Amino acid sequence: MVRYAEPGAVEWVESGGGPLIAIPETVLPFWAGADGEETASDYDRACEVGGPAGLLPVGDTTALVLGDEPAATATAYLPGHTAFVRWHPAGAEDAPPAGVPEALRTADWQPELCWRVPGPVLLFDAARPGGAGTGTGRVRVPLGPGTYAVRAARVQPGPETWLGLVHLRRLTD
């Protein structure tokens, strides 16, 4: 489900406990989610990605998996920070905590990954098939084609709230 803080503000994608995935639009039909006749579904493959962020082959490119948390969360892409922000507890109706800029500056980042994308991606629950259409439960992230450094961290701004951060930095091709 997509949540809106205020019209035109932040769009949230919720997960019922599994990973979210950011898939380039060009390969959406190749993502079967939890469906499929394979022994291991695409969703199973996404669940096997260790850590808060990882890459997974889809078609002739790769998708970014936002994982590492078996709990309900809400995730948004904040274009002003070029970052995905996963906020727990899920269901919060407001914009992310005001501490996001400070969290991005002071986080203890994990080693970077390099993610090459052909253009815009869609963020949604990895259990859903990519060809399931548009609408609720998906957020379009207008990335330009190129290579991005991806780094992830987890911060705890309050006693019962944590943020999962996945920051993107465009690299020169």
128 or 172: which leads in pLDDT: 128
Q: What is the pLDDT of residues 138-168, one digit of tens each?
A: 899 999 999 999 999 988 877 777 888 999 9
The verdict on whether omega for the bond into residue 145 sits within 30 degrees of 0, i.e. cis, is no
Ranges 72-76, 98-102, 119-123, 125-129, most confident: 119-123
pTM of this structure: 0.86
Q: Which residues contact 97 (CB under 8 A, 6 or more apart)?
A: 87, 157, 158, 161, 163
If we measure between CA atoms, which residue out of 105, 84, 106 comes closest to residue 96?
84
If we measure between CA atoms, which residue out of 64, 59, 84, 62 comes closest to residue 74?
84
pLDDT at 135: 63
Confidence of residue 91 (pLDDT cuts 50, 70, 90): very low
pLDDT at 61: 97
pLDDT at 1: 35
Mean pLDDT for the chain overall: 83
Q: What is the pLDDT of residues 7-52, one digit of tens each?
A: 456 787 877 778 999 999 999 999 999 886 667 799 999 999 988 9
Assign 76 to helix, strand or coil.
strand
